[in-house]
Amino acid sequence: MKKKVAIIGAGQVAEKVHVSYYQTREELELAAVVGPNPERVKDFAERNGIPQYFTNAEEMHAAVKPDIVSVCTPNRFHCENVLLAIAHGCDVICEKPPAISAAEAKQMRDAAEANGCLLAYDFHHRFADDVTILHDKVKEGILGDVYVTKVKALRRCGIPGWGSFTDKEVQGGGPLIDLGAHMLDAALYVLGFPKIKRVSAKMYQKIGTKKSKGTLGEWDPNKYEVEDSLFGFIELEGGGLIQLETSFALNIKDTSIMNVEFCGDEAGATLFPAQIYTDEGGELVYLLDRKTADADRHPKSMEAFVDRCLGKDVMVADGRQGYVIQQLIEALYQSAEKGESVTL
Ligand SMILES: NC(=O)c1ccc[n+]([C@@H]2O[C@H](COP(=O)([O-])OP(=O)(O)OC[C@H]3O[C@@H](n4cnc5c(N)ncnc54)[C@H](O)[C@@H]3O)[C@@H](O)[C@H]2O)c1
């Protein structure tokens, strides 16, 4: 019998990523979608051939009894919808970031473990072949001791012009929680999730409140509530350092940079595309030289989740790792707000 899937949050990521992937799997049946606006959720269902639509998630669970749930709402509603789905015994994939606080991410992790449900987060960048390759090379010790990692999740003028990405209460923050979360996850995954000791950060709100138009549409500068850039230092147990740069808007040359560099005492590496290099007598020598980065990350993230739901032993970005990322994000925001370092 096919597994029934329900989507909570009928927005762009639900349609482009979740629905379009589920439609490729014959083991699944897209059964229902939930959204707050009756007309928009009806349109979404009709456009995507989904037989049932609801404006209330409780009613959907009672009527449809799905096996699998995708939570694609704005960040503030992730936790309540994940907990509800888990209470109904569903396996869940939740969009990133896990939640808007570490306490919520912990509750979500604990509920999944207590109920024996799968909880995965759509940290899709870690599913690129480039990440798999570097993860294995770091583990083999090709880079030696990786003591400095540089994480960049930067946009020049890329404040999202849709959704609620500039609303602090609904999203929990700006580029750190939205973009930085992705590259922090990819970096920590490659490094094997080392223990974090202390963080310090500084954030700015310099452009979002002044301008109103960018590469990703228009926003209201009077309602721009989140940071537009944040910079941080993350000290690891054992002496390593992660340097973080993240922005929605920052006067840099590139439109967008989403990448991680790893500096070891034997070799260095860049994540997208995966390249490993070292210095021989002052000359740069490549040990690995991929020319293009794997762009198929989203379908691979969805594939891993569905395969796990169907019993395959594959890697997903799980509830425990989601909690670690959320703790880190919260500590970075706390540090930036207080102007002092935060020990984890
Ligand atoms: N993995 C990625 O790369 C990626 C990309 C884009 C967005 N996202 C994440 O996906 C989520 C949604 O982003 P989006 O770009 O699709 O935004 P969006 O605004 O297009 O969609 C969100 C949808 O959720 C609906 N919604 C709001 N409150 C709800 C509630 N309480 N219950 C059910 N539905 C509700 C809204 O009506 C809207 O249709 C965010 O958490 C975002 O961070 C992840």
Looking from the CA of residue 77, the nearest atom of ligand 1 is 31
Task: For 220, list phi and psi in degrees, rounded to 5.
Answer: -95, 110
* pLDDT band, very low/low/confident/very high, at 261 (cuts 50, 70, 90): very high
Cα separation, 246 vs 183, in Å, equals: 9
> Would you state the pLDDT for residue 272?
98
Q: Is the CB of 74 under 6 A from ligand 1?
A: yes
The pLDDT value given to residue 36: 98
Confidence of residue 43 (pLDDT cuts 50, 70, 90): very high
Pairwise CA distance, residues 310 & 166, whole Å: 37
Between CA 29 and CA 138 the distance in angstroms is: 39
Rounded mean pLDDT, 167-188: 97
In contact, 42 and 103? CB cutoff 8 Å: no
**CA distances in angstroms from 19 to 67, 127, 152, 250, 273, listed in the order given:** 15, 19, 29, 33, 28
Cα 165 to ligand 1 centroid, rounded to whole Å: 10
CA 284 to centroid of ligand 1, rounded, Å: 44
Just give the CATH number of 3-123+301-315: 3.40.50.720
**Ligand 1 centroid vs 114 CA: distance in angstroms?**
27
**CA-closest candidate to residue 227, choices 176, 263, 180, 299:** 176
Quote the pLDDT of residue 61: 98
Residue 254 CB neighbour total at 10 angstroms: 10
Confidence band for 184, pLDDT divided at 50, 70 and 90: very high
Task: Express each pLDDT in 61-70 by its tens digit.
Answer: 999 999 999 9
Q: Render pLDDT for 303-318 as a digit per residue (tens, 0 to 9).
A: 999 999 999 999 999 9
Residue with tokens 């379908």, as numbered in its chain: 299
Instruction: Find the 149 Cα to ligand 1 centroid distance in Å.
Output: 30
Rg from Cα positions in the chain: 20
Element (DSSP H or E) covering residue 256: strand 256-264
Domain range 125-296+325-343, CATH architecture: 2-Layer Sandwich (3.30)
Q: Would you list the domain boundaries of the chain?
A: 3-123+301-315, 125-296+325-343
Enter the tokens of residue 343: 């020990």
Q: Is 34 in the pocket of ligand 1 (CB under 6 A)?
A: yes
